[in-house]
Structure 1
């Protein structure tokens, strides 16, 4: 596989610590709407999944809910979440240091979330300048992980082949999407007791380790020059 030339970062749970906020707001919203759900359900089973897919699965298990009720509930959830992102969100430990150390690489954010949410999270954590407008949302591309199309779309727009890109993702759906796209993948596995890194991906437990991992991937190229 080619030496990595472009870095593609997931956002939620990889760059910013938004998942506990999302899990809490989602649990309150869905439970009030009549679909029993807890923060641990999101973190354990549904992390990284699209909201509509989570709702569909919960309705399969618990019965259908009035669409208008669900729509209102989702709107309130996203309003509360946006407020918490603006006021409470933090970057994951080691993210700033990793981005500084890897400053020579072209990079982008590739997320299942809406672009407005991506921008809000990066802005709130002071990471917006690190990526500029290199933001790729499933809602904009109209394709979502675990389908590889979102990562392939980002690579194409960034101007690189898939095998020239390194994806960094914390969620299994994202790791599988990038592997299916033919990319090198680093799995930020912050829950190793309950989550196994898929075959073919490199596992790290924190973002402080990322520059060292990428440095090792560059060694074959260095040795031949």
Structure 2
């Protein structure tokens, strides 16, 4: 594993604690149109997945929903979520300290969410300055994790080869995306009782540990030279 030159961060569940808010709004919205879904379902089965993929799977299980109703439901859900993110969102523990310690590295955010949501999350939690305009949304790239294309697009746009980057992602979907792209990846495993880190990824349990991992990777390559 080569020394990382660029850090690619997932957003939801990695930098910010948005997933409980997203899960709650998703559960309320989907149940209202006849798709049984709870916040626990999101955390346990669908964490990190694209909303439309979640809806497609639920329709397989519970029956199809009118497309217009789905579109209106998604728009309402995202509007309510955006308001909650502005007023309720917090950083995950250790994130600010890690970004300060790693400020010499080019950093980007790579998310399955819309760019507007990424910007809202970073602004609400005071993290915007650490990433600038280096924000890569699946909705802009038209490529969603676990497809490796989103992380490859971000790496190349940042001016680096895949192996020169390091992905930090909390979801299995994101970790698999990075592994398929050939990018070294750190799995922020905050749910070790229910999630197993895929083979080939590095595991940490909190963001306080990230600077040590990056330092160790750099030191290992120096020793190999």
Fold equivalence (TM over 0.5): yes
The match for 2:70 is 70
1:157 aligns with 2:149: no
Q: How far is 1:220 from its partner? A: 2.5
Structure 2: segments with no counterpart, 5+ residues:
none
Q: How far is 1:75 from its partner? A: 1.1
Query: What's the CA shift string for 1:38-92, capped at 9, x where partnerless?
Result: 0000000000000000000000000011111111111111111000000000010
SS in 2 for 1:108: strand
1:176 aligns with 2:138: no
The match for 2:9 is 9
Query: What's the CA shift string for 1:117-162, capped at 9, x where partnerless?
Result: 0000000000000000000000111101000000000000100000
Query: What's the CA shift string for 1:167-220, capped at 9, x where partnerless?
Result: 000000000000111111000000000000000000101000000111110113
1:40 aligns with 2:40: yes
**How many residues are matched?**
225
Structure 1: segments with no counterpart, 5+ residues:
none
Cα distance between partner residues in 1 of 2:224 and 2:155:
26
The alignment's TM-score, normalised by the length of structure 1, stands at 0.98
Kindly report the root-mean-square deviation, in angstroms, between the aligned alpha carbons of the 2 structures.
Answer: 0.9
**Shift >3 Å, 4+ stretches:** 221-225
SS in 1 for 2:203: strand
SS in 2 for 1:167: strand
